[in-house]
Every structure is written in structure tokens, then in C-alpha cells.
Amino acid sequence: MKKTILTSFLLSFVMISCSTDNNSSANNEARSAKKDFKLFTTSNTTGKVSVTDLNTSTTSSFTVASTDADGAYYFDDSDEFILASRTNNKIELYYDVSESVATNAASLNLGTASTSDFNNPREIAVAGDKIVVTQDQNAANGNTNKLLVYERTATGISLLNSYTVNFKIWGIHLEGSTLYAVADLTSDLVIFDNFFANTDGAITASKRVTIEGLVRTHGITYSNRSNTMVLTDVGSATSDSDGGLIIIKGFTDVLANTPNMGTIAMNKQIRIYGAATSLGNPVDVAYDNFTKTIFVAERLNGGGKLLTFDLPKTNGNYAPTSSRAELGVSSVYLLRE
């Protein structure tokens, strides 16, 4: 009898301990998720950056040093935010972002900036301490499309490499050492394997494929967890209603089964198009695999909007689940750790 009571007591203690540990672990995860679930946007008309806590739906807006900005990334480890300044043609780094949010500051604290090595930047992608910036061709840069690689160090941001490419470039996404890029003015996706192994000068893509039914690519993001690629279609640059989103599930398999210069067929895609979508010129996109939510920087419709969509299972003319005015919105970046 005593043995039975003691055994029951020990089992109860173990169960309580495990429950406590599990609760503690769950609480820690919840706190971590709450801390690290943020959305950032830039604007190319207002000189503002927005930071949204997606757990509370609270948005803070800050003035930055560049009226015209594009590309965004947030370093959670150091609480620093970077953008590609189209005003100053530099990568600008802002520090103590969380403190600025907590104190309702009017502006972000500008820390350091890169040298001015580009003109007309469009996007930023980051892998570890490497920062890649796209330069889209225009008259001021000699109609040269570039990918520039910088290194973030304890003392600043230094240029490592400068590459020229033979297509008009806009959005990019880094997945380890693989760089995915969209070829603006086309419906093509370009892939660079072992991207950081290139030396300065002209570089050649490992693969290029066409996305059937896509008019003009701009935004791109990829979720490794769910193997999902999301692309935006701006259609005609002057129309505020002909844009769309294309989702490709099982992306790496689809890509592997598509030959170089081949086409990813429409039956491999999930497509969001139509009058209800509010999509005209969706210039950038982010995706949260946990909540199955797509965030879109819609530049033209209404002067600029941040739109959200639930990840659809089938093609459709879906209305956004939320829409927020964001004048001149040019990029969107999601932090979810």
C-alpha cells in the first residue's frame, strides 16, 4: 500500500513537473513570438517607415533620412533596420528601433550608411552578414542593372562585390547561397546558385524560367518551411486594377521539373486576380507561413496601400482581409522568429 501511494505520488510529481515545463516552454515560445512578429514598410514619397506589431495590430510611423526609400530588412539580434535609400543612393542603418516604438519617437535613429555605389535601388535581401541590393537601370546609372553585395560589420557596411546582369532587375530573395530574382518587364524568374561565389563583373544565371500568365514581375518572397513561392504581377504600370498574386506550392520540385528557359504552367499556380483584390501595382510581398497570410505593398491603388490576403487554395478574385492606406508604399518586410 505504501509503495502504491509513493509510486502514485512520484508519478503525479513527474506529471506536474512535465506540465510545468511544457507550460513554461509554451509561455517562452509565446513571449518570443510576441516579441518577434513585426511588419515593416518603406515609402518612396513620404520619408516614412512603418513598424507594425502584428500581435497587437499596433502601427508606429517614423520619419527617416530618405524621402524616397525602397527595400527593407530588420536585424532582430541588434534591433537595427536597414533600407535602400533612393534619395541618397546608400544603404542606411537605423538603430534602437524597439526603443523608438516604445517611446513613440517621431523618427528613427540613423546610425551608419554604406558608401554610394548604386543609383536607383529597388530591393534588399540578406543572408547572415551579407546584404544584397538591386540597381534598376535608368539614365543616371548608364542603364546598367546591378546586384551589389555588402558586408555588415561591427564598424559599418562595406561593399564586397558588384555584379552586372543582362536583365532589368527589381525584386530579389536570398535562400542561403541561392538568389532568386525577378526580371522586370517580363514574366520571368531568374535563379543564381552559389551566388556569393561570383567574382566582380558580369554574371550569368544558373536558370531562367517563365511564369505563364504573369504580365510583369516585381515582388518576390519564398517560404522554406512550406516550400511556397509568392510572386506579384503589376500588369500595366499605369493601371491600378490589373495586378495580381501568384502562389506556387512545392516550388523547388516545380522548378526542378522545369527546364532552363522553360515555363511554369498556370496549372502549377494559385492565382489572385480581379476587381475585388485592390491589386494594381503590387511592388513587394511578404508571407507568413504560420498564419498563412500574404502581405502586399500595393503602390498605385489609392496612392498606396498595405493589403493582406489569406493564402488561398484555389484561383479567385479575392478581396483583401485588411487594407491600410500607406502612401507611396514601396516595400514590405516581415519578421517572424
Instruction: Write the pLDDT tens digit of every residue in 284-326.
Output: 999 999 999 999 999 999 999 999 999 999 999 999 999 999 9
Average pLDDT on 137-160 reads 96
Is position 236 within any domain?
yes
Residue 66 has pLDDT above 80, yes or no: yes
Residue 34's pLDDT is: 54
Say what the pLDDT of residue 18 is: 44
Burial per residue of 77-92, b for 16 or more beta-carbon CB atoms within 10 angstroms, e otherwise:
eeebbbbbbbebbbbb
- Which structural domain range is residue 299 located in? 207-322
Flag whether pLDDT at 24 surpasses 90. Answer: no
Q: How far apart are CA 40 and CA 329, in angstroms?
A: 10
- Average pLDDT score over the chain: 91
DSSP 316: B
C-alpha cell at 75: 536585424
Give the pLDDT score at 35. Answer: 58
Is 143 a domain residue? no
What type of residue sits at position 104? N
Q: And the C-alpha cell for 127?
A: 543572408
329 closest CA partner among 13, 53, 72: 72
Residue 39 within any structural domain of the chain: no
Which residues lie closer than 8 Å to 135 by C-beta, 6 or more apart? 118, 119, 120, 121, 122, 141, 144, 145, 146, 147, 148, 169
Determine, yes or no, domain membership for 175.
no
Q: How confident is the model at residue 36 (pLDDT cuts 50, 70, 90)?
A: confident
Confidence at residue 7, expressed as pLDDT on a 0 to 100 scale? 36
Please write the tens of the pLDDT for every residue from 161-215: 999 999 999 999 999 999 999 999 999 999 999 999 999 999 999 999 999 999 9
Residue 337 has a pLDDT of: 72
Q: CA 288, CA 282: separation in Å to the nearest integer? A: 17
Position 30 pLDDT exceeds 80: no
Q: How many domains does the chain have?
A: 1
In a domain, 55, yes or no: no
Residue 246 covered by a domain: yes
Write down the residue that cell numbers 508571407 correspond to. Answer: 287
pLDDT in tens, 254-273: 999 999 999 999 999 999 99
Does any domain span residue 231?
yes
Supply the pLDDT for residue 254.
98
Looking at the domain assignment, is residue 88 inside a domain? no
pLDDT for res 25: 44
